[in-house]
Structure formats: structure tokens, C-alpha cells
Amino acid sequence: MKTASTVPDKVSKAEAGYVCTPGCNYLCGECQFRKGESQCAFFGPAAGISFTEGSCNAWKSGDPKGVPWLKPYYGFAELGYAENKNGFGCKRCEHFGAGKNDCEKVDRKSPGLTPGIISAEACCDFQKPDKERAQMTDGKLVQILKASPGDRVLRFR
């Protein structure tokens, strides 16, 4: 059961599909559903994806350990597949309050990972690339986000 937010106009971490895997950029190349050189178990062998720029709402950390093709296949839009050359995550999301460990969409105090905060290293289904931070490398983002000392899981590669 998904947990509701206690803050009006915000969704809970559970409702948002909030995940946090420090060191990840939430790319297909870091997801356990990737297959072959450029395929995804959800989209089938005929649909090419990018391991270095793509991601979707079904992202799950891990090595692909023989995940079968998952028929019937989804279309890209159904799982929110998108591409960004530097990856995704709160640190590149326009909803993230950089320096505040907060988010304008997701209730930071709702039950779930990273209690009490929205981590720069997390991600969720509402990720929307920020005009400037989405284009930055991890190294550049470290300089900007290290002004957020309250982020207990802020560790970049």
C-alpha cells in the first residue's frame, strides 16, 4: 500500500516511487532490466535504448542477471522513457531545492528512504530535468550542491 503525504499539494515518497542509490545517475546502464547491448526487458528486442543516456520510471539498481523478456512489451511513453546525456536524479531535477534537501513535489517527511530529507542522490517518477543542472557533470554538481551540509547521503563518484 502506498503511503499518502501529510503535506497538502505534495505526494509521499511512496506515491512518487522515490528511490535512492548513492553514486547512481539512474541510467539504463545501471538498471537490472537492461539486456544485450541496447535493449530493455520491458520494451522488447526490437526497441533500442541508450545505456548511457536513457532511463525510465521502472529503473531498478542492479546487474542484469538473466531477466527474461517481459511481455507484453511497453511503449516508451508508458514507462516515461527519456534521455539525458549526464543522467537523472534529484541533483538534476528542477523540483529539487538545492541546498535545502527538499522538493516542491515530494514530501520530504513522508515515510521512506532518507528520513526527513530529499537527497540530491535520489530520484523519483516526477523527475524533470533542470535547465542548467541537467546539463552538468557530477563534478560540477558537487561544487554546487556541497553547500547542502544537511544531506547525509550526498556522496558523488
Which stretches of the chain bind ligand SF4, using CB under 6 A?
Answer: 16, 18, 28, 31, 33-34, 40, 42, 49, 54-56, 58-59, 79, 81, 90, 93, 95-96, 103, 105-106, 118, 122-124, 126-127
Distances (CA, A) of 100 to 77, 91, 117, 118: 32, 12, 8, 9
Q: How far apart are CA 128 and CA 90, in angstroms?
A: 9
Q: Are 113 and 48 within 8 A, CB to CB?
A: no
Tell me whether residue 118 or residue 145 sits nearer to ligand SF4 (CB atom).
118
CB of 99 to ligand SF4, least distance (A): 13
* Cross-strand bridge partners of residue 102: 97
Tell me whether residue 47 or residue 142 sits nearer to ligand SF4 (CB atom).
47
CB of 41 to ligand SF4, least distance (A): 7
Q: How far apart are CA 21 and CA 73, in angstroms?
A: 26
Tell me whether residue 93 or residue 154 sits nearer to ligand SF4 (CB atom).
93
Q: How far apart are CA 64 and CA 157, in angstroms?
A: 22
CB of 128 to ligand SF4, least distance (A): 6
Tell me whether residue 81 or residue 86 sits nearer to ligand SF4 (CB atom).
81
CB of 28 to ligand SF4, least distance (A): 3
Collapsing DSSP states into helix, strand and coil, what is residue 51?
coil
CB of 130 to ligand SF4, least distance (A): 9
Spatial CA neighbour of 119 closest among 77, 74, 154: 154
Tell me whether residue 95 or residue 142 sits nearer to ligand SF4 (CB atom).
95
